[in-house]
Amino acid sequence: MKMKSHIAQTVFLAGAALLATGQSMAAGFYLTQVGTPMSIGTVGVANTTNTWGADAAWAQPAGMVYLEEDTVGVTGLTLLVPEMKFDSSVADAGGSDGGNAGEIAIIPSQFVVKKLSDRTSIGFAITAPLGGAMDYGDDFVGRYGAQKVALQGVGISPSIGYKVNDRLAVGGGVTLTYTLFEEDVAINLPGPAADGKAELDDLDDWGYQPFLGLTYAVSDRVLFGFVYRAEMDVDLRGDIDFNGVPLPGGNAKLGWDNPQWAEASLRFDLDDNYYVATNLGWQDWSQFSENKLTVTPGVTVLDRDWKDTWRTGIAFGHLDGTRGWAFGLSYDSSPVSDKNRTIDLPMDEQWQAGGSYFWEGEQLSYALGASVMYAGDAEVDQTAQGVRFKGEFDTNLIYSLGGTVRYTF
């Protein structure tokens, strides 16, 4: 069982990598944008003061009460094009740098808000809070930390908003998230033998994350918004298979705590239908720092030395009758220092910039948005399975292009 315990430690190193792929995220693996052009265009800065669209059902449940239409439905589609290229400076076991490890993903979304009364609205959102893939290749210099990871996730969020008075509105909901992932990691075998491989297959679980929101009109032109998302515990269970290693397959469980998240924003409505929004957010990534992988019968725990992150940004836009546009810029601090960063979750500070345009008809409307995220150089100096590799991502970008069609009943 000692060999199997060692392999458990090996496989664990890539366990959370899936969460670093796909969506435009905060400095950890939470997304900062839902699949609508207003959210993409402001890179999430205006989410907590969203009183305009059906995506408030997830972004700011209190904002739903400001929608004038009886029922609003929005269908969206987001194209993600990552460009993630590692450049090694030390590679004790040789190998390639992996080329572009990012893989293109197409993510649908759906948002509906129904007005029950002048004070109460209910909402429903389907989003992909986690999704995408990262493939370094079998001969990657860091193959003993990670070779290939793939994640699929869907979040279902019912919510409700209530207007307390002309200034204050409150709301809440819960996101039910189904997560599925698979992963490959090379096994460093002694002597001249070729690498073995461990594969985590079909690890999945459901998790839930309650969220609360409020908006308060400080004045006729200043709106304050606040959203809190609670911690979400997930235990992904599935199978582990081995190739080139004399061990049978078995059961695996990977657990971690998705941390709590709080964000506040101010929106200033200017003359001629212009507005400026700014935000400040905190995410409890120190809570995520300790991970646990169970490969029957052993348990491996890894402390990643992660820390809490902060995010801020600014957005500027114009809403004028049937047309509008928005631009945004945001920054997220890094959850981990250079000396503690690993190749499975090579997170760093992140800068995002975006823009969007929309046109609104009497019933049918459409919108387009685009953003780019620079995820830092993410320097890695890691020893995995006794093999050291070092380098950084000389290209580390994620491009997002989103569109929505809105129909008002």
Write the CATH number for 118. 2.40.160.60
pLDDT score at 85: 94
Amino acid letter for position 174: V
Residue showing tokens 């990262």? 134
What domain range is 276 assigned to? 2-408
Full-model pTM:
0.87
**pLDDT score at 22:** 36
Residue 344's pLDDT is 79
CB 86 within 8 A of CB 342: no
- As averages over each run of 10 residues, the pLDDT of the chain (409 residues) reads 42 36 49 79 93 92 92 84 94 93 86 95 88 84 88 89 97 92 86 84 91 97 97 87 84 81 96 94 83 65 81 93 89 92 87 90 82 93 92 93 78
CA 219 to chain centre: 33
- Decide: helix, strand or coil at residue 230: coil
β-strand pairing of 168-187 with 148-163: antiparallel
pLDDT given for residue 320 in this prediction: 80
Query: If 0-12 CB within 10 Å is exposed, 13-18 middle and 19+ buried, where does residue 24 land?
Result: buried
Start-to-end C-alpha separation, the chain: 62
Bin 99: left if φ > 0, else alpha if -120 < ψ < 50, else beta: left
pLDDT score at 316 = 96
Of 251, 16, 46, the residue nearest 146 (C-alpha): 16
Separate counts of helices (H) and strands (E) for the chain: 3, 20
Identify the pLDDT of residue 296.
Answer: 62
**Number of domains the chain contains:** 1
Conformation bin of residue 94: beta by default, left when phi > 0, alpha when psi is -120 to 50: left
**Distance of alpha carbon 63 from alpha carbon 52, whole angstroms:** 8
pLDDT of residue 29: 63
Q: Show the tokens assigned to 108.
A: 């649908």
Residues in a beta bridge with 265: 225, 279
What stretch of H or E contains 4? helix 2-12
Q: Position 12: which residue type? A: F
Contact 328, 46 (CB under 8 A): yes
Question: Which sign, positive or negative, has the C-alpha torsion 6, 130, 28, 288?
Answer: negative
Q: From CA 55, how far away is CA 325, in angstroms rounded?
A: 17
Confidence at residue 298, expressed as pLDDT on a 0 to 100 scale: 61
CA 367 remoteness from chain centre:
22
